[in-house]
Amino acid sequence: MTTIASEYGNENNSVPIEHRFNPYSDNGGTVLGIAGEDFAILAGDTRIVSGYNIDSRYEPKVFDVGDNIVMTANGFAADGAALIDRFKSAFKWYKFDNNNKKLTIQSAARYIQHLLYGKRFFPFYVSTLIAGLDEEGKGAVYSYDPVGSYEREQCRAGGAAASLIMPFLDNQVNFKNQFEPGSDGRVKKPLRYLSLEEVLALVRDAFTSATERHIQVGDGLEVLIVTKDGIKKVYYPLKRD
């Protein structure tokens, strides 16, 4: 603090020197959600980093938040955990206040927008994804930017290696740049739902490749699979280098 005397003797104006505390950090990691016809998955690696340090090799970040909805918030870990905590308690109150009504995925999605936009001027520094089944029983994935802009998608990658995985997903899930053989690049390959086996294979390929090319990704892959029968959790080891 320096004190600057004004022209009035008894009136001192203090100007603090800028020396700001940075309230954010990047804890790395990457996440991925894909919707199928009657299922949806949310996957994330289990590594947590700060700078070049691997702080933990197993710190799960994809959670079952109730009513067959899974959620993850990747980026700044403290905000991610806080956002999910807030959603879980909001979920509880929704149940208390609405006679135990089931929270649909689109209501959950809109509510999370409010959680994020509510902190528009001190944002949660995370890429948020939720996955579940919609009212027709079709797989649904919703994705968000840090301040709450959201949309429903067939698939979305978030976090450190999003830019590595997303083009791969565009090609393999939405068949971008794929054409009917013999059509000379004029007829697009028609869209179709992928099976769970196909999706899991894509997820594993995406993460092993991201692990190869991104230093903040690795150690383990945890996938939460949502079907009408509930949520299943599977774990695959990844390279630890």
Hunting for tokens 């929704």 — which residue is that? 94
Count of all residues that appear for the chain in the document:
241
The amino acid at 156:
R
Residue 45 is a binding residue for other proteins (CB under 8 A): no
Structure tokens at 138: 């079709």
Binding mask 192-231 for other proteins (x = CB under 8 A): ----------------------------------------
- d(CA 59, CA 46) in angstroms, rounded, equals 5
With CB under 8 A as the contact rule, the residue among 32, 34, 41, 48 that binds other proteins is: 48
The binder of other proteins chosen from 38, 64, 78, 175 (CB under 8 A): 78
Q: Which stretch binds other proteins (CB under 8 A): 56-64, 137-145, 181-189, 202-210?
A: 56-64
Q: Which stretch binds other proteins (CB under 8 A): 34-42, 57-65, 182-190, 203-211?
A: 57-65
Nearest approach, Cβ of 19 to other proteins (angstroms)? 5
Q: Which is nearest to 155 in space by CA: 197, 111, 203?
A: 203
Kindly determine how many residues on this chain lie close enough to bind other proteins according to the rule CB under 8 A. Answer: 26
CA distance 29 to 211: 10
Tokens 């450190």 locate to 160
Cβ atoms 72, 141 nearer than 8 A? no
Q: Does 1 bind other proteins (CB under 8 A)?
A: yes
The reply on whether position 13 binds other proteins by CB under 8 A is: yes
- What angle (nearest 5°) sits at the alpha carbon of residue 138, between those of residues 198 and 40? 45
Does the protein bind other proteins through residue 19 (CB under 8 A)?
yes
Name the DSSP class of 33. E
- The minimum distance between CB 50 and other proteins, in angstroms, equals 7
| Burial class of residue 15 (count of CB atoms within 10 Å of its CB; 0-12, 13-18, 19+) | exposed
Cβ proximity to other proteins: between 58 and 179 the closer is: 58
Q: Nearer to other proteins by C-beta: 11 or 197?
A: 11
Backbone angles phi, psi at 157, to 5 degrees: -105, 145
Q: Can residue 185 be called a binding residue for other proteins (CB under 8 A)?
A: no
Residues at the site binding other proteins, with contacts judged by CB under 8 A: 1, 13-14, 16, 19-21, 23-25, 27, 48, 50, 53, 55-59, 76-78, 81-82, 122, 240
